[in-house]
Amino acid sequence: MIRPLELQIGLRYTRAKRRDQFISFISLISVLGIVIGVWALITVLSIMNGFERELRERILAVASHVTITSFRGELTDWPRLSERVEQAAEVVGQAPFILGQGMIVKGPTVSGALIRGIVPNREANVSTVLENLTAGDVAALVPRDWNIIIGSALASKLDVVLGDKVTVVAPKGQVTPAGLLPRLKRFRVAGIFELGMYEYDSALALIHIEDAARLFRTEGRATGLRLKLKNVYDAPRVRQKLTELLGSGVGITDWTREHSNLFRALKIEKRVMFIILLLIVAVAAFNIVSTLIMVVADKEADVAILRTLGISPLSVMGIFVVQGVMIGITGTLIGTGVGVLTAINIETLVPWLEGLLNTEFFPSSIYVITDFPAQMKWSDVIQIASASFGISLVATLYPAWRASRTQPAEALRYE
């Protein structure tokens, strides 16, 4: 196969043993630097993708995909509104709720809580909270039985177990001769859930919607409707569609708006991490510059001979670009392969390392997420490999340009 002269000579220079072993050592360091940089980028970004996915799933276990509320505070006719929402094909589940703030008291311990009134058989259509019960049964949420399901952290704080009695204090009080008194009601702990997110496990309590209506005196009105969609990522589009369908009398929000700051911060962290780790590749690129400058000096006589044979400066430049690009391609391919394998097997490698080192990287007593969830995206892999190759290519230009400026007469004077 006939290859361009620049490619043929460049590949020969890359494979040839050099008189100066130091140049070969620097070339090896350049390749290793690129390998480490690309490997670290793919692994770290995959872990960050995994954490984002895990966090999103835990949030959506409680938060609805789309929430419909009233600007007047309560939905007066939520069953009719629910029928209209069914016209949207993207909605696969919906459930009414009553939401109120209150305090839960057990002996001398008092804790603030977000109390949500639910319809048990419909709540399962929009969230997975009831699937995460560690004790008790959702069937205990029966109207007028005054049962309550609380988070594990809240149960621990109040020091209660299944069957214990707690007092719920509602802010909407009742007028008595002694003045306005808060509304108090005794509930029995009928269940404890654990979602793995302290924000919810420490402050959320579930009761039957009819009990919530009596506790907060809503007279049968609901705070809003929670919706579940076929595709969670369609939430902004469905929100806009429902706004047009239902008119301006209701407020509609979705999970991307409610938690926008959190996910925006995660994206910024991912970009910053990408830039920081890309500096490893940039440092390796400086080694490519050093390697090629030394190779140019080592091959100065060869370049001069090629020039006297009629090779153009641009062709000389191409020879050394090929050599530098080969270093970049080798490091990028090896780093990509190792990075992809690490990202795919990270959930197996981490427990093995923890056992080998006899330590726990994320103790469950401190961290919400105790493992390394990884989600490799091929778009990230392509972006990383392209950036690595691009940096390597740019690093070759200056040494190659210097080689193309070699003057044959000057270089051969002392040969």
Cβ contact 256:250 at 8 Å: no
Overall average pLDDT of the 12-40 stretch = 74
Q: In this predicted model, what pLDDT tens digit does every residue of 268-298 receive, in sequence order? A: 888 888 888 888 888 888 888 877 777 777 6
Amino acid at residue number 245: L
H helices of 259-299, where?
260-298
Q: What is the pLDDT of residue 220?
A: 74
Query: Could you identify the residue written with the tokens 């091959």?
Result: 299
How far is 168 from 113, CA to CA, in rounded Å?
9
| pTM greater than 0.75 (yes/no) | no
Residue 154: its pLDDT value, please?
A: 94
> For 198-207, what is each residue's pLDDT tens digit?
888 899 999 9
Give pLDDT, residue 276. 86
* Whole-number Å distance between alpha carbons of 319 and 112: 72
| 25 vs 43, more confident | 43
In the chain, the percentage of residues whose pLDDT exceeds 70 is 86
The closest of 81, 115, 50, 72 to 369, measured between CA atoms, is 50
163 three-state secondary structure: coil
- Which of these ranges, 54-63, 94-103, 300-309, has the smallest mean pLDDT? 300-309
- Distance between CA atoms of 185 and 79, rounded to whole angstroms? 28
Cα–Cα distance measured from residue 237 to residue 52, given in angstroms and rounded to the nearest whole number:
22
Domain extents for the chain?
5-58+262-412, 64-254
Is the pLDDT at 179 greater than 80, yes or no? Answer: no
pLDDT at position 1: 43
Per-residue pLDDT, averaged over 66-82, amounts to 81
User: What's the pLDDT band for 2 if we cut at 50, 70, 90?
Assistant: very low
pLDDT digits (tens, 9 = 90+) for 329-379: 889 999 999 999 999 988 888 888 878 888 777 766 566 666 778 888 999
Given pLDDT bands bounded at 50, 70 and 90, which one contains residue 174? low
* Alpha helix segments (H runs only) across 78-207: 78-85, 120-123, 152-158, 198-201
* pLDDT above 70 for 175: no
Has residue 64 got a pLDDT over 60? yes
What is the Cα 309 distance to its own chain's centre?
A: 58
What is the rounded CA–CA span in Å between residue 191 and residue 163? 8
The DSSP-derived string for 82-118 is: HHHHTT-TTEEEEEEEEEEEEEEEETTEEEEEEEEEE
Amino acid at 201: D
Separate counts of helices (H) and strands (E) for the chain: 14, 10
What pLDDT score does 191 carry?
Answer: 94
